């Protein structure tokens, strides 16, 4: 039975520049579609649509109940070399009509129960924003292969991912569950991206020492 996240919309901006990113996008999208009663919006911004040509046919084949219920895909053609994630997120937010918006990274998957816990914090407990992960050594970096993710999706068993994972820090980014108030969402996303920029800048400075 799918977990009820019907009052949430996952907004996922993407640019698929590698085979690893393509695998991740297919895996996370299939995982969300198969496990949650929810809404998903994906927007691809690039000079051509890799998602439409390569991801959608695979998703239509592997997702048992079909992919198009409460799923929206949009492609915007551009020759811009930079991926303006904040701008794309802001555009997607205005189209979401659910009580919760989930700014979601296509490279991340949570333990299934974490989605429901974060969702319930906003729906039932009055929270405005939830970061559904710990600060510190809480991330598992997965050395994924097609076989690993296929087994994970087919068996719905995280042990396949755990077997090729290593523990790493989880300090920022990945995803946020946010109460659907446009001003609040924009402020949160701007703060998150500012923090990411500061951390990245610090990393480059430290690496030169």
Q: What tens digit of pLDDT does each residue of 166-179 get?
A: 998 876 667 899 99
- List all residues 6 or more positions away from 133 whose beta carbon is below 8 Å from its beta carbon: 110, 114, 139, 170, 174
Which pLDDT does position 201 carry in this prediction? 40
Residue 178 burial (CB count, 10 A)? 24
Domains (ranges, CATH) in the chain? 3-135+172-207 (3.90.550)
**Strand 3-14 relative to strand 36-46, pairing:** parallel
- Note the pTM of the prediction, 2 decimals: 0.86
Residue 27 vs residue 128, higher pLDDT: 27
Residue 177 burial (CB count, 10 A)? 27
Query: Do residues 56 and 159 lie in contact, with contact meaning Cβ atoms separated by under 8 Å?
Result: no
Residue 198 burial (CB count, 10 A)? 11
Statement: residue 30 has pLDDT above 90: yes
DSSP 69-125: TTEEEEEEE---SS--HHHHHHHHHTT--SSEEEEE-TT----HHHHHHHHHHHHTT
Which pLDDT does position 137 carry in this prediction? 82
Residue 126 vs residue 32, higher pLDDT: 32
Which pLDDT does position 174 carry in this prediction? 78
d(CA 93, CA 41): 10
Take residue 15 and report the two structure tokens written for it. 């640019």
Which pLDDT does position 209 carry in this prediction? 36
d(CA 73, CA 89): 14
Query: Do residues 12 and 106 lie in contact, with contact meaning Cβ atoms separated by under 8 Å?
Result: yes
Which pLDDT does position 169 carry in this prediction? 82
- Over residues 122-129, the mean pLDDT reads 91
Which pLDDT does position 72 carry in this prediction? 97
Q: What is the pLDDT of the chain when averaged over all its residues?
A: 87
Mean pLDDT is lowest, of 10-19, 76-85, 152-161, 186-195, for: 186-195
How many degrees, rounded to 5, is the angle at CA 200 between CA 194 and CA 201? Answer: 90
Mean pLDDT is lowest, of 11-15, 117-121, 156-160, 170-174, for: 170-174
């Amino acid at each position: 039975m799918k977990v009820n996240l019907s009052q949430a919309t996952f907004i996922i901006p993407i640019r698929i520049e590698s085979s690893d990113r393509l695998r991740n996008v297919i895996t996370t999208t299939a995982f969300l579609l198969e496990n949650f009663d929810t809404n998903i919006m994906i927007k691809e911004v690039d000079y051509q649509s890799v998602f439409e040509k390569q991801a959608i046919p695979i998703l239509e084949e592997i997702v048992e109940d079909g992919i198009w219920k409460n799923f929206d895909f949009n492609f915007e053609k551009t020759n811009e070399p930079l991926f303006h994630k904040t701008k794309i997120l802001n555009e997607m937010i205005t189209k979401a009509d659910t009580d919760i918006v989930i700014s979601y990274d296509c490279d991340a998957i949570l333990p299934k129960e974490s989605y429901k816990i974060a969702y319930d914090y906003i729906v039932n407990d009055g929270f405005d924003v939830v970061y559904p992960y710990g600060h510190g050594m809480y991330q598992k970096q997965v050395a994924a292969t097609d076989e690993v993710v296929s087994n994970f999706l087919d068996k719905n068993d995280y042990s396949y991912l755990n077997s090729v994972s290593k523990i790493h820090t989880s300090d920022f980014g990945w995803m946020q569950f946010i109460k659907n108030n446009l001003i609040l969402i924009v402020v949160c996303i701007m703060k998150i991206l500012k923090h990411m920029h500061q951390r990245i800048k610090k990393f480059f400075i430290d690496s030169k020492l």
